[in-house]
Amino acid sequence: MRSAYPAAVERLIAEFARLPGVGRRSAERLAFYILKSDEATAMGLARAIHDVKKHVKHCGACSNLSDDDLCAVCADPRRDRTRVLVVEQPKDLIALEQTGMYRGLYHVLMGRLSPLDGIGPGDLTVDELLRRIEKPEGNPGGTRVEEVILGLNPTVEGDGTSMYLADQVKARGVRVSRLARGLPTGSSLEFANRAVLADAIQGRQSME
């Protein structure tokens, strides 16, 4: 079907429609918002997209989002570098940071194991995590990791991933714990409130 819109407008609609959760109708609404906006607003959005793709990378140690080789957490010498809290996504890390209760480092897996979707350890940053544990040089400050805290989301796949990682980490002689189960099953870290997250960190349980 031929679009009645000028080609440039149609292209913008098509690009918006590719975003998660945005259907054709919403994409049209967004495109018209851009058309109506003044140039500074519209170009500000374009520049923000450009900059995020150009300058944001993944931290070389923990895979958190960063505009440097090491993210702000890994680069901070006041953090306790003997502890590594493993999360699924950068947004989980941000939720935990906002509690102000955790002073260690993180490791962002970039997902979780999901055999049904064909997602295995090789699709995540599992090797990078195990290397950090095996070789202190791979951990910021060259510090030996003494405790790995599993902070995956309380879902079936999150639990499966935790079991897998616990075995791998224990096999390397490092202590493993997991966040306390204050979080309701099926929920996700990013939407938990601060008090619940703070309790989950404080009450973390050892995985023997």
Judged by the rule CB under 5 A, the positions of this chain that interact with Zn ion are 59, 61-62, 64, 71, 74
- Tell me the CB-side half-sphere exposure of residue 59, using CA atoms within 13 A: 26
Q: Which is nearer to Zn ion, 34 or 110 (CB)?
A: 110
Q: Which is nearer to Zn ion, 80 or 167 (CB)?
A: 80
As measured in angstroms, the least distance from the Cβ of 9 to Zn ion is 41
Q: Return the number of other C-beta atoms located less than 10 Å from residue 114's C-beta.
A: 17
Q: Which is nearer to Zn ion, 61 or 133 (CB)?
A: 61
As measured in angstroms, the least distance from the Cβ of 32 to Zn ion is 40
As measured in angstroms, the least distance from the Cβ of 89 to Zn ion is 14
Q: Which is nearer to Zn ion, 111 or 138 (CB)?
A: 138
As measured in angstroms, the least distance from the Cβ of 140 to Zn ion is 7
CA–CA gap between residue 145 and residue 170 (Å, rounded): 12
| Contacting residues for 172 by C-beta, under 8 A, at least 6 apart | 130, 133, 134
Q: Return the number of other C-beta atoms located less than 10 Å from residue 107's C-beta.
A: 29
